A and B are shown apart, each in its own frame.
Chain A
Amino acid sequence: MQPMAAKLILWHELDADRPVVLLAEDEPIIRFDIADELRRLGCQVIEASNADEAIDIVKSTARLDLVVTDVRMPGNRDGLDVARAVRQERPGLMTVVMSGHLAPNDEHNHLIDLFLSKPTPSDKLATAIMEMIKASPANRDG
């Protein structure tokens, strides 16, 4: 685990002033689109291509300001598992869930701070994310 910690310190040093958003989305083109838009608005974006990667980041990254996750992704875990990991590991951190399949119900309420149905244009999604970040300075962790 030591090499990972060293890498994370480096990542943390690169840009201490911009919000850090974890974006978990398995469709690379959708991910690029959203990440580009968020970067254009001033965010640092950590791109995870599946839930396992996202959960690793949730557990280990020094700073996160918001998590955005798709629900259906390849592998044994999905976006709701990412949201569960956020609640467990970093309870103050807000989670945006986006899906074209999930109909959120009462069971999901405690996991999801904002639900966006897919497809949502990347500029609208990024604007909604920025508003959440601005409204929640306490999200900054570590």
Chain B
Amino acid sequence: MKQEAAAGETILIVDGDVITRTVIAEYLRHCGFRVLEAGTGTEALQALQHPDFPIDIVLSDVELPGEINGFELSHWIRKSMPEVKVLLAGAVERIADTAGDLCEEGPHLAKPYDHRLILDHIKRLRAR
């Protein structure tokens, strides 16, 4: 499994549920990625803007505690750090509704997470 992940790639997981976040993060570490974890959109922005932690891919829940939700985080990344790839996750209906309203593009994942699907999506993002 580890050979499938590119060495040195860093994924930021943003999820307000500590257990969901921990399980997914540990799975992706097991696959060979470096993984950072944020519990809120604000924490994610701090991580993204810190020079010591260059991030390649952000996997964020759409609904986050605090002032910044996943869509807002995604918009900020597309505008300010277009080289960072974003994968949004959430309840399918919620993503479809809000994504349509915001003309948001890009891959979306349904929650609860399916680990193999996450890895599959990440591979496709890396291939772009």
Residues in chain A within 8 A of chain B (CB atoms): 3-4, 7-8, 10-11, 14-15, 28-29, 31-32, 35, 39, 44, 46-50, 53, 56-57, 60
Q: Are B46 and A47 in contact (CB under 8 A)?
A: no
In Å, the complex CA distance between A32 and B25 comes to 13
Which A residues touch B112, using CB under 8 A? 3
| A11-B26, A14-B30 known; A29 vs B50 contact (CB < 8 Å) | yes
B43 CB–A CB distance under 8 Å: yes
Chain B contributes a number of interface residues (CB within 8 A of A) equal to 23
Q: Are A49 and B53 in contact (CB under 8 A)?
A: no
Interface stretch, picked from B32-40, B74-82, B96-104, B120-128, is B32-40
- In the complex, what's the smallest C-beta–C-beta distance from A22 to chain B, in angstroms? 10
Q: Are B43 and A49 in contact (CB under 8 A)?
A: yes
Most A CB atoms within 10 A — which of B18, B29, B36, B112? Answer: B18
| A3-B112, A50-B39, A53-B39 known; A29 vs B19 contact (CB < 8 Å) | no
| A29-B47, A49-B38 known; A10 vs B23 contact (CB < 8 Å) | yes
Identity of the chain B residue whose Cβ is nearest the Cβ of A53 in the assembled complex: B18
In Å, the complex CA distance between A13 and B43 comes to 28
Q: Are B19 and A8 in contact (CB under 8 A)?
A: yes
Most B CB atoms within 10 A — which of A35, A46, A50? Answer: A46
